[in-house]
Chains A and B, each alone.
Chain A
């Protein structure tokens, strides 16, 4: 009987040790795992921009030079493909940053393309000349893509988002990373910096802003806006100038907003309606 009681007590004691000790063991194991994590060192690959190394044998790199302001010979994108890419961009998927992939322009090339576009626009008197001087207060560039699955080459989805700022004039450009074409631009400037005399014929800005656009199918013009439909009728380019006033001390200042944008024709119809109604 006594032996039985001792046995029972022993079993209870062992189970108590398992139940309580098990908890401390688990906690110790978890702490150990955490310590392992915190002591962990590793490397993450950021996909380097050495695009030439990814090119197939015999294929010429579209980068004519590196680090010396080399021009980017981008791949031509058909209107149909352009429409597909725009559809994905406009679907509003999650944006992800990445390093340039093979065939895509690198940052230097993107900045060169951006500066070149700004220079062209200043030469045409669309935006003030002081932006062409080159020394910007702020420059930012990031290569983005949309985190989604597509049935075409994913590299087509990437774009460089460039930002140039000088003396309260800001230029934001969206450069298609594979073609090197500027598909969107947004310029903010104060009215006093702008060139108001040219705003009357803004439809002429379209071939300047989108030089890769061949003969358009149709054109539409409204007050402060104009658009042109691409030859296949799937994509349209439009330009829009708008203004907003802002109290700056005792003075009322007008902020001009120039928008240059490629858009899907479905959306272009809306734009067309908007433009013609105005």
Chain B
């Protein structure tokens, strides 16, 4: 059963019962008071009539009855002074006077009548209902039954009309109430319905589905929270898809990178095995096998490093930048000299926190990347800046820039340059034993140090790689 229907049914039933119960109590109360009022009014009329009859009894005594029974005295003369419809009976039940319709049998109402108390009862005479008050009016030994009838038909009709009006009001109230409650329930449950539709769509894979914000009430808050949840789910799903794609690409690239050297190794090994080759050719084949094996080894080491970087925590140590880069330059000197590349170093002194071996790998990878891009000149600068300059939110920062005059990276490739196995120029890279892992590794190391590599290149005249790290000024250290 739907929530809206539940609301309509429960409210309608609840208010119907309350309305009917309240109406019953009110009308019952009205019955009570109108009937009591009628009895009270009838008692007053009876009292008045009693006085009139009593006065005549006192003045005329029993002669009155005899004269009246014999037709010598017209009681209707005093009856005109009486209130309501009146009948008078002698104590033996003979009718002295009756204002009631002819043939009305009243003897049954006389039984049990007393002088000090008045009996009352309701009786139907023809089409009308009367409230009879019966008592005895006595003087000395003489007495008469005095019957006063008050027509209460109007009161009963009024009661009927009230019930009828109550029924009309009830029907209207229920009708209008159902419409109103239905409208309200539709209004209240609309956000819930929207939520239901949205959840269905999301379940079917439409993660972009959102619900309208339905105000500040609980349902509105639910809608807002639902939207937040949907957004988080969408982001997570996108992230998972991205990761899955990256892994897929990684596996594909890895397989491809394995295949190329293995093909060479298998080919040259097969040649040596199947054919009697001259010593020179054997050496050449063995060199190829060694060379490709080295490539595979380098590839496996770098992949291992990548895996380790993902899962290991490193202890960073504070080092002085000018000394650090001097040492790093020393490390790279052989490589640079071999390739005929000059390195220009200009580093401001400051303190940064690094893991030396990793940072060395990062530096050598950047230098190696520049050499592979055909650079003949590499400049490394390190400068201290403040947060107000926009790199970081607070404190000092140390920005390292490695610039080369190599072939550069096309703008559209820059975003993917740190992906594993991604190579801008694959043939050139492979010739230089590259597998597209170096920059991915460098980025990981930068992240370990709390930074990120920023590549800038126009794709023609070299590349600039920046790395920003938190630092401490030399002055601070000297003050200590």
Contacts and interface: CB of A to CB of B under 8 A. Distances in A.
B51 A18 contact: no
A111 B52 CA distance: 12
B408 interface: no
Contacts of A11: 1, 5, 9
A86 to B, nearest CB: 23
Given A18-B16, A107-B55, A140-B81, A37 B5 contact: no
A43 B114 CA distance: 10
Interface stretch (B22-30, B299-307, B323-331): B22-30
Contact of A4 (B1, B13, B122): B1
Interface in A127-169: 136, 138-143
B419 to A, nearest CB: 50
A136 B121 CA distance: 36
Interface string B94-117: 000000000000000000001111
B58 interface: yes
Nearest to B142: A67
Contact of B13 (A15, A33, A46): A15
A58 interface: no
A26 B24 CA distance: 6
A67 B62 CA distance: 13
A99 interface: yes
B133 interface: yes
Interface in B36-63: 39, 43-44, 46-48, 50-52, 54-56, 58-59
B116 A48 contact: yes
A157 to B, nearest CB: 16
Interface size class of B (residues with CB under 8 A): 35 or more
B250 interface: no
B44 A97 contact: yes
A29 B122 contact: no
Interface string B342-384: 0000000000000000000000000000000000000000000
Contact of A42 (B9, B21, B24, B119): B119
Contacts of B129: 38
B35 interface: yes
Interface string A81-111: 0000000000000001111000000011001
Contacts of A108: 58, 139
B17 A98 contact: no
Interface in A203-252: none
B31 A37 contact: yes
A46 B47 contact: yes
B83 to A, nearest CB: 11
Interface string B432-457: 00000000000000000000000000
Interface of B: 1-2, 5, 9, 12-13, 16-17, 20-21, 23-24, 27-28, 31, 35, 39, 43-44, 46-48, 50-52, 54-56, 58-59, 78, 81, 114-122, 124, 129, 133, 135, 139-140, 156, 159, 163, 167, 170-171, 174
A276 interface: no
Given A46-B50, A97-B48, A138-B78, 11 more contacts: A19-B13, A23-B171, A27-B167, A37-B35, A38-B124, A44-B117, A46-B43, A50-B116, A96-B44, A107-B54, A139-B59
Contact of A34 (B16, B31, B51): B31
A59 interface: no
Interface of A: 4, 7-8, 11-12, 15, 18-19, 22-23, 25-27, 29-30, 33-34, 37-46, 48, 50, 67-68, 96-99, 107-108, 111, 136, 138-143
Contacts of B167: 23, 27
Given A15-B9, A107-B51, A30 B17 contact: no
18 contacts: A4-B1, A18-B16, A23-B167, A23-B170, A26-B21, A30-B24, A30-B31, A37-B35, A38-B124, A40-B122, A41-B120, A42-B121, A111-B58, A139-B59, A140-B81, A142-B48, A142-B52, A143-B51
Contact of A46 (B5, B17, B116, B159): B116
Which of A7, A37, A67, A107 neighbours the largest number of chain B CB atoms within 10 Å of its CB? A37
Contact of B133 (A26, A39, A44, A68): A44
A179 B17 CA distance: 60
B27 A30 contact: yes
Contact of B139 (A25, A27, A67, A141): A67
B1 A8 contact: yes
Contacts of B27: 30
B324 to A, nearest CB: 72
A66 B185 CA distance: 80
A15 B31 CA distance: 29
Nearest to B48: A97
Contacts of A7: 1
Contact of B20 (A4, A26, A67, A143): A26
A11 B6 CA distance: 9
B20 A139 contact: no
Contacts of A18: 13, 16-17
A98 B43 CA distance: 10
Contact of B163 (A4, A30, A37, A141): A30
Question: Which 4 A/B pairs are nearest by Cβ-Cβ distance?
Answer: A48-B116, A67-B140, A142-B51, A41-B121
B115 A139 contact: no
A97 B120 contact: no
A181 to B, nearest CB: 20
A99 B59 contact: no
A44 B163 contact: no
A15 B1 CA distance: 14
B113 to A, nearest CB: 10
